[in-house]
Amino acid sequence: PIFAMSRVAGWVAHIVEYLQANRIFRPRAIYNGPVDVEYTPMEERG
């Protein structure tokens, strides 16, 4: 409780900044790498 109480002002300030700037709070993580890749054992990697 004491840990959170000491940081509430900072958390609220960040939220107010995000709301005023109309920015994405935390973007969704969308994987955009290769999908169908075959597994290569460690011994064969180089």
Q: Could you read off the pLDDT of 1-46 as tens digits, one per residue?
A: 788 888 998 889 888 888 887 776 676 788 889 999 999 999 999 8
Q: What is the pLDDT of residue 42?
A: 95
pTM exceeding the 0.85 threshold for the entire prediction: no
For 1-46, the DSSP string reads -HHHHTTHHHHHHHHHHHHHHT--SS------S-SS-----GGG--
Q: What is the pLDDT of residue 19?
A: 83
